[in-house]
Amino acid sequence: MSDSRERSDAEAPATPSRRRLRIRRAHADAANRGARRTVLPLAAGLVAGVTVFALVSGGVVTDGQSAAAASSSAVTVTAKQQDAAVDTAPMPDLSVTVSQTRGLVAQGIRLDWTGGKKSTAPSAGGNGGENFLQVFMCWGDDPSNTQRPDRTTCQYGGAGSIGATRDAYRNYASIDEVPEADVEYTAPGSFIFPPYTSIPFIARDGTRVDSIKRDATTGKKTIDSSVDVNANQFFTSYTTNEIPWVGSGDDGKGSVTFEVQTAVQSNGLGCGNPVTTSGVTVGASCWLVVLPRGTSDNGSTNITQSGLFADSWQHALSVKLDFAPVGTGCAIGQTERQVAGSELAALAVASWQPVVCNQTGGSVYSLITSAESDALLSASKNDQAPLALTSYALSTEGKDPLTYAPVALSGVAISVAIDRLPNPNDKTVPQEWKDKARTPFSSVNLTPRLLAKLLSYSYRSSIPTGADQTYLTGTNEYNITRDPDFLAVNDPEWQAQDLQGAAIADVIVPQGRSDAARAVWKYISSDKDAMDFLASKPDPWGMIVNPWYSTDADVNPTKVPFSLDRDDFPKADPVEVVPANQAPINLVTWRPYANDLSAIAYLTLRGDGQGPGQWDPNSIPPKYGKNPRMLPGSQRLLGLTSAAAAARFQVVTASLRNPAGTFTAPSSTAMRAAADVMTPAGAGDRVVAFDPTSSVAAGARDAYPLTMPVYAATNATLTDPTLRAAYANLVRFAVGTQAQTPGTGVGELPDGYVALPAAWIEQAKEAADVMQNGPKATASPAPSSGGSYIPSQQAAASTGVVSSGSSGAASAPVAPAATESTPAAATGASSGALAGGKTPDDPDGGAIGAALPISVLAGLVSAVGVPLITRLRRRVT
């Protein structure tokens, strides 16, 4: 296959006339090993976007319990209800349901519809398509009808697609033929040109972007060519959230996830700006618009004109959206406390923060998402250390000095945005599959070996074009959708697809070190097929691993085996391609890191596959540009994110094969099942994890294998008492009734989490007491009756303590408490899973040991925190 065939327009630079390929020794993974340092002010209403964002509810990754709260504000609108000209409407039976309309932050919402018509995709000949929908947001009310939005306040035109701009030369001979409603925005034509209509954009602050000039004296209207109404200071193709084309199937049904933007992402719209009336502050509302487009309109024989023009605009359906106020809900001047470590709990803590800080003596908590092992090491040694959030215990040669309180359970997820593209000329492809062209796949199965292929950059498109001709030749496919290994475990419809692009040849990963990365590599290393592949044994179809990721030292060019005992995602291949008269492209440039897990969910929602754009020799200095996002209908993207972030942005998540051989998605039920079979993973029986190699995991058919608990940890013998009290307060709130109630409200449990069962809550409360008051010295421990983990019903019979989560799952046996002793030096590395019970070297945690988490949680998401995304990656500029 040629280079030009494999590179998609949205993901690769232009094919140069010649290339010079240089393979050199490098340490490409070194840049990834630095700690991520993303500061998340956990304050009410702080939301984000391209550089700053927060996350939300509803969701593809959840089930009944967690979806309930979001659906409470769902709204359905129909053409018959809203369209005064329904008799001439392109889709008179259209009915659209919006999944959430209240309490919105920067997030995704789901649109589902019926009553559409079979869609035709845009054509290369200049047709915008037929029988499709356009979706966008507006901020202002129509002065003549406050039940509808004002089209001049709509963020529309930034995509620049045919039939989706704000302006156009009209298909009329003179301005007299232009519909009356458009005349105000139309400049008369000339002998050469027809009339020109341009709908201005008026931002919430009153700024007007208008390409029609009006003479102050005569009122004559002329074209102002210096103004681009489709790319301006308020929105461009890189920032707009509009969907210019989304289609329906044969049955007239369809669905799409839409990105809701607040004032942080779009100051022109200003959605969520605080508005205070009589002492009550709310967020400024906006409109969601669903605009049906038929086969022709606005004087055109097909769809080439703006949807804002009168003939089309009259058929728009709209829904009012209410927002949480953007900004802090915490009083200025309050004491700030720091929390450091796991990003997996960030959205839950962000939801809780506005309530916690407003309690008597409350504090403002700022989360620094960094390597959990670093946070634990600091917590063990520093009396002013932030409260550590972790999924694994501290690695230490002696007593672990930390107290652990379970505060959340979520998981790592693989986000998916892949739209269908069957070959229309292949007569063997069933017509029903062809009719689904440009609609998204909602089900993807992945095995540990497939994930290993993605993370080892073993598909040919995952490394710079031209490099694959050197050592990823033969049976290595260009991307995962062409791999017989993938096709063997997925729906037969995948075999009809002709999909290209680098973003489906790997998975977008976060920079830095994390427990999430550690869990992913553990999942892969537990599978024999995956390990055989990484050991340079061909898979059954002949595909081989990228040698730079080989665990066979004789094959790996470094002569050192690639290790899976790690907590990062290295780009170990030092490949570099030097296109003619352009800057070099290496693996980090070709497939950049994302800042964190939440950023990847956002990239998935927007269809942003990352990677370099076209080379711009006229830039100073010359550089590669940035590709615009892939619009719905042409998205090709895989990413590694969290279940909570995936739920907030409503992206599809892959189902992973678990140790029992079942494919499961990160639903609340599946995460609950995984927690039921978690085994000790450090600090005696006080920290647990899902171990894919355990016998209990092998029998858990419903378990999601990348489920992870999160613990709050601090050194109760060292940390400053004032800090310990503040940390204890946060833990107590986290396990309280409000924080454990699934919902989209401030202080509630966001989607992507599961409400903690009683045993977890009891452990957390006991841990909070120890955090605040310090551990109590106890008598020497009695001889242990054995240190084995006792799962489920067997544990219940042994201890008589049963958690309230599910299936009667019980806590582990209580080991005797230890006396105080001087802790051994900590290494800062996360400890490995422990098979034994609590040892005399473990610190006393009161009754904490009696509450081993074995049952799980599920929850709804409504977050109002704001991770600041600064993409730290190596790029050619």
State the CATH number of the domain containing residue 734: 3.40.190.10
DSSP reduced 3-state for 551: coil
Which whole number is the average pLDDT over 63-80?
68
Do 66 and 860 touch, CB atoms closer than 8 A? yes
Residues in Cβ contact with 148 at an 8 Å cutoff, skipping those fewer than 6 apart: 141, 142, 316, 318
**Which pLDDT score, from 0 to 100, does residue 591 have?**
95
Residues in Cβ contact with 428 at an 8 Å cutoff, skipping those fewer than 6 apart: none
* Whole-number Å distance between alpha carbons of 47 and 105: 6
Residues 618, 688: one domain?
Answer: no
- Report the candidate in 450, 195, 385, 472 with the shortest Cα–Cα distance to residue 771: 385
Distant-in-sequence contacts of 179-186, Cβ < 8 A, 24+ apart: 179/309, 179/310, 179/311, 180/310, 181/310, 181/313, 182/309, 182/310, 185/212, 186/212, 186/221
| pLDDT tens-place string over residues 163-176 | 999 999 999 999 99
Domain annotation covers residue 808: yes
Domain annotation covers residue 185: yes
Domain annotation covers residue 508: yes
Confidence of residue 856 (pLDDT cuts 50, 70, 90): very low
Residue 283 burial class via C-beta count within 10 angstroms: exposed 0-12, middle 13-18, buried 19 and up: buried
**Which pLDDT score, from 0 to 100, does residue 865 have?**
35
| pLDDT tens-place string over residues 600-618 | 999 999 999 998 889 999 9
Which whole number is the average pLDDT over 668-672?
94
Domain annotation covers residue 642: no
The answer, yes or no, to whether residue 324 has pLDDT greater than 80, is yes
Which whole number is the average pLDDT over 242-247?
94
Q: What's the predicted TM-score (pTM) here?
A: 0.81
Residues 626, 734: one domain?
Answer: no
**Which pLDDT score, from 0 to 100, does residue 360 have?**
80
Domain annotation covers residue 526: yes
Range name among 241-255, 691-705, 850-864 with the lowest pLDDT average = 850-864
Which whole number is the average pLDDT over 122-137?
88
Domain annotation covers residue 872: no
Number of domains in the chain: 3
The answer, yes or no, to whether residue 855 has pLDDT greater than 50, is no
Domain annotation covers residue 598: yes
The answer, yes or no, to whether residue 436 has pLDDT greater than 70, is yes
Its domain, for residue 240, covers: 45-323
**Which pLDDT score, from 0 to 100, does residue 124 have?**
67
Confidence of residue 43 (pLDDT cuts 50, 70, 90): very low
Residues 224, 90: one domain?
Answer: yes
The answer, yes or no, to whether residue 782 has pLDDT greater than 50, is no
Residues 212, 191: one domain?
Answer: yes
Range name among 69-73, 98-102, 106-110, 437-441 with the lowest pLDDT average = 69-73
DSSP reduced 3-state for 761: helix
Residues in Cβ contact with 608 at an 8 Å cutoff, skipping those fewer than 6 apart: 629, 630, 637
**Which pLDDT score, from 0 to 100, does residue 328 have?**
65
**Which pLDDT score, from 0 to 100, does residue 841 have?**
38
**DSSP H or E stretch at residue 373:** helix 372-381
Residues 118, 265: one domain?
Answer: yes
Domain annotation covers residue 530: yes
Residues 299, 361: one domain?
Answer: no
Residues 403, 521: one domain?
Answer: no
Residues 795, 728: one domain?
Answer: yes
Which whole number is the average pLDDT over 841-852?
34
Residues 307, 163: one domain?
Answer: yes
Confidence of residue 663 (pLDDT cuts 50, 70, 90): very high
Residues 461, 365: one domain?
Answer: no
The answer, yes or no, to whether residue 541 has pLDDT greater than 60, is yes
Structure tokens at 102: 């209240």
Which whole number is the average pLDDT over 147-167?
96
Instruction: Give the whole-number percent of the chain exceeding pLDDT 90.
Output: 65
Crossing angle of the two packed helices 721-734 and 758-773, in degrees rounded to 10: 170
Mean pLDDT of the chain: 82
**DSSP H or E stretch at residue 142:** strand 141-142
Sign of the alpha-carbon dihedral angle for 742, 748, 749, 750: positive
* Whole-number Å distance between alpha carbons of 199 and 181: 11
Residues 319, 350: one domain?
Answer: no
Residues 305, 169: one domain?
Answer: yes
More confident residue, 422 or 851: 422
**Which pLDDT score, from 0 to 100, does residue 756 have?**
83
